[in-house]
């Protein structure tokens, strides 16, 4: 232990790390192995020794003593004794339960449980017990319950070390096109970490950092038929375009299972919403899932894994025999189901903080502004008398935001500007104001692709998007994003929207969020911005006035 170390471990299992300390980089590398970063402003970063972070470390083979040794090497004061005890206890729980192949019955797995007390507890659990059949030193589990058991055991504090075999899937040779692109070192490290861990788990990289490339490289490494699950049709089309452009796969090799065609190929791309449609008489009674589950996949890729809807968690439990790669910019879930991602997709295998990628030039530097706008006088009385659930819509549709939009559009006359929002009427008004195409959920696929193509080519320099613009739309030259309104307090959405302008580019990116002052929208904005401020971004606040047009600026820390 160094009395001059850069870190302080506190009794609530948080770790404070001094950024300006000469030992910061070494300490950050140590903490990254077993703690999750919660806040990273300028001078002091906050990490947490959460159960999930410690189990992620245990899944990577890191022992409790290694974790404690790492902490002792960087702290300024002794690690609290009860924290040391908690770390040993939490880490020891990983692997008490482990899944193995049955020596003679392929339809059954063996759940080994090292401790008698835990075996007795599991047998008595209302949800878990009925799925278990006692055997020496553990239980027998039906193959179909593999995911369900892992999910249930994590919830009661005993994460399963899944050592049971994975099906190979049909072979599919894939090679990368070295004449088109060269992977970055962090992408190579991400793939290696995923493959070395048994090819099941999650890779966390910022928007614009090339998560799709990580998937391609994993496909090339494994060489098997692959199912790719995406957030929407546009994302599916983009995935197909990228795979054909950057790998040896040709057009017949990559199919999109969507709409009327529902094609299946060696690589098949579909959406979460397709999988979540009920119907049919198959094993799960989810028609499209049952159709696709019959295919000999060797790898399933979950794009934007933090968006997994609840029904797909259940279906993911059916895919436990496949290699599973989750991709995301943030594991934050507003419903708190990060544990389900851990149990069903796998532990986090690799991540890089957003600001590190910014410093290295792999994503654009970004400046964030919150523009606080007074509520239009005509809406003051309706807002005051509205029920709580209606107030966000009234604040979001504040017409004075269009005046701010006009000023910002003039300020960025030469830039490539995206406007995003959650309410359709203000978006349509924004389109008229800026003479820009408006893409919403009602826009046909052909119209959407035409609007995106016009923006990519430079024929259009402004584009207005509803929530369809939150995810996986490839508009790399956009450098200004203006958010008219957002979804309540969604940290995911704030991060994903900033990500629309983070592709590397000269001059960086600018992000504006327009907030109606003194309303529930201002309260929600503080929560929405939380993930980005924890990543080290600062919001500059401008109070906009429609009287003299002058703004007063200050920094939000």
> 3-state DSSP call for residue 546?
coil
> 3-state DSSP call for residue 480?
strand
b or e along 94-120 (b: 16 or more beta carbons within 10 Å of the residue's beta carbon)?
Answer: bbbbbbeeeeeeeebbbbbbeeeebbe
- Of 201-210, 321-330, 541-550, which range is least confident? 541-550
| Residue 343 token pair | 């149990």
226 has pLDDT over 70: yes
Inter-axis angle of helices 64-72 and 81-93, nearest 10: 150
Provide mean pLDDT across the span 60-85. 95
Of 370, 374, 380, 371, give the one whose Cα is nearest residue 517: 374
335 phi and psi angles, rounded to 5 deg: -90, 5
- Of 96-110, 228-242, 255-269, 310-324, which range is least confident? 310-324
- Does 368 or 547 have the greater pLDDT score? 368
Q: In angstroms, rounded to a whole number, what is the distance separating the alpha carbons of residues 279 and 259?
A: 16
Residue 470: the pLDDT is: 76
Of 300, 344, 266, give the one whose Cα is nearest residue 167: 300
Cα 496–232–270 angle (5° rounding)?
130
363-556: CATH class: alpha beta
With contact defined as beta carbons under 8 Å apart, do 423 and 411 qualify? no
- Of 93-107, 117-131, 354-368, 532-546, which range is least confident? 532-546
Residue 69: the pLDDT is: 97
Residue 550: the pLDDT is: 44
The correct answer on CATH 3.40.50.300 for the domain covering 185-352 is yes
- Of 112-126, 364-378, 459-473, 541-555, which range is least confident? 541-555
pLDDT band at 553 (very low <50, low <70, confident <90, very high): very low
Kind of pairing between the strands at 138-142 and 108-113 = antiparallel
Q: What is the pLDDT of residues 497-521, one digit of tens each?
A: 888 888 888 889 999 999 999 999 9
554 has pLDDT over 60: no
Residue 555: the pLDDT is: 40
Q: In angstroms, rounded to a whole number, what is the distance separating the alpha carbons of residues 68 and 420?
A: 46
Kind of pairing between the strands at 323-328 and 200-204 = parallel
283 has pLDDT over 90: no
- Does 146 or 433 have the greater pLDDT score? 433
Q: Which residue is listed with tokens 């003679």?
A: 104
Inter-axis angle of helices 211-222 and 233-246, nearest 10: 60
Query: What count of Cα atoms within 13 Å lies in the side-chain half-sphere of residue 97?
Result: 28
Burial class (CB in 10 A: 0-12, 13-18, 19+), 66: middle
| Residue 250 token pair | 């040709």
551 has pLDDT over 70: no
Q: What is the pLDDT of residues 387-410, one digit of tens each?
A: 999 999 999 999 999 999 999 999
One-letter-per-residue 3-state SS of 433-469 = HHCCEEECCCCCHHHHHHHHHHHHHCCCCEEEECHHH
> 3-state DSSP call for residue 428?
helix
| Residue 472 token pair | 């996986």
384 has pLDDT over 80: yes
Q: In angstroms, rounded to a whole number, what is the distance separating the alpha carbons of residues 487 and 389?
A: 12
- Of 30-39, 91-100, 246-255, 501-510, which range is least confident? 30-39
Mean pLDDT, rounded, of the chain:
89
Residue 549: the pLDDT is: 42
Residue 397: the pLDDT is: 94
Q: What distance separates the 2 farthest-apart alpha carbons in the chain?
A: 81
| Residue 145 token pair | 């319950």
Provide mean pLDDT across the span 185-192. 96
546 has pLDDT over 80: no
Q: In angstroms, rounded to a whole number, what is the distance separating the alpha carbons of residues 469 and 232?
A: 10
556 has pLDDT over 50: no
Of 357, 28, 362, 346, give the one whose Cα is nearest residue 194: 346
Q: How far apart are the first and last CA of the chain?
A: 32
With contact defined as beta carbons under 8 Å apart, do 294 and 257 qualify? no
Kind of pairing between the strands at 366-373 and 348-351 = unpaired
Share of the chain above pLDDT 90, in %: 56
b or e along 156-194 (b: 16 or more beta carbons within 10 Å of the residue's beta carbon)?
Answer: eebbbbbebebeebeebebebeeeeeebbebbebbbebb
């Amino acid at each position: 232990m160094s009395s001059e170390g850069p870190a302080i471990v506190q009794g609530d299992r948080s770790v404070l790390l001094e950024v300006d300390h000469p030992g910061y980089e070494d300490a950050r590398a140590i903490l990254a192995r077993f703690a999750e970063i919660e806040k990273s402003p300028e001078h002091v970063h906050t990490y947490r020794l959460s159960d999930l972070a410690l189990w992620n470390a245990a899944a990577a083979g890191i022992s409790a003593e290694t974790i404690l040794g790492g902490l002792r090497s960087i702290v300024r004061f002794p690690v609290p004794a009860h924290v040391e005890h908690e770390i040993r206890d939490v880490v020891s729980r990983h692997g008490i339960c482990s899944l193995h192949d049955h020596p003679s019955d392929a339809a059954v797995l063996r759940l080994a449980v090292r401790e008698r007390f835990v075996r007795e507890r599991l047998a008595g659990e209302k949800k878990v017990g009925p799925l278990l059949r006692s055997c020496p030193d553990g239980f027998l589990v039906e193959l179909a319950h593999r995911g369900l058991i892992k999910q249930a055991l994590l919830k009661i504090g005993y994460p399963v070390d899944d050592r049971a075999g994975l099906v190979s899937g049909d072979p599919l040779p894939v090679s990368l096109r070295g004449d088109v692109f060269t992977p970055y070192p962090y992408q190579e490290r991400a793939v290696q970490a995923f493959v070395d861990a048994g090819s099941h788990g999650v890779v966390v990289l910022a928007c614009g950092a090339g998560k799709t490339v990580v998937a391609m490289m994993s496909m090339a490494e494994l060489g098997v038929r692959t199912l790719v699950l995406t957030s929407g049709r546009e994302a599916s089309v983009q995935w197909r375009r990228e795979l054909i452009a950057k790998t040896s796969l040709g057009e017949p090799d990559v199919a999109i299972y969507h709409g009327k065609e529902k094609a299946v190929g060696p690589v098949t791309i579909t959406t979460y919403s397709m999988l979540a449609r009920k119907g049919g008489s198959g094993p799960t009674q989810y028609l499209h899932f049952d159709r696709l589950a019959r295919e000999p996949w060797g790898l399933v890729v979950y794009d934007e894994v933090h968006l997994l809807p609840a029904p797909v968690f259940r279906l993911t439990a059916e895919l436990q025999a496949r290699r599973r790669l989750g991709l995301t910019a943030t594991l934050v879930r507003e419903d708190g189901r990060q544990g389900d991602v851990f149990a069903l997709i796998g532990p986090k295998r690799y991540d890089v903080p957003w600001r590190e990628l910014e410093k290295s030039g792999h994503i654009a530097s970004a400046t964030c502004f919150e523009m606080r706008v007074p509520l239009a006088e005509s809406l003051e009385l309706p807002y005051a008398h509205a029920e709580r659930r209606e107030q966000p819509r009234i604040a979001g549709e504040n017409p004075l935001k269009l005046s701010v939009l006009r000023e910002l559009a003039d300020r960025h006359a030469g830039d490539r500007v995206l406007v995003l929002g959650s309410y359709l009427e203000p978006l349509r008004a924004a389109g008229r104001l800026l003479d820009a195409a408006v893409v919403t959920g009602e826009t046909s696929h052909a119209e959407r692709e035409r609007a995106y193509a016009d923006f990519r080519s430079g024929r259009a320099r402004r584009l207005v998007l509803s929530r369809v613009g939150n995810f996986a739309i490839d508009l790399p030259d956009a450098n200004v994003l203006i958010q008219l309104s957002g979804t309540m307090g969604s940290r995911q959405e704030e991060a994903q929207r900033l990500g629309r302008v983070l592709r590397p580019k000269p001059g960086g990116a600018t992000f504006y969020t327009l907030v109606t002052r003194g309303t529930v929208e201002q309260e929600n904005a503080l929560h929405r911005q939380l993930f980005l401020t924890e990543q080290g971004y600062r919001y500059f606040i401008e109070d906009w006035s429609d009287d003299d047009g002058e703004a007063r600026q200050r920094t939000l820390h």
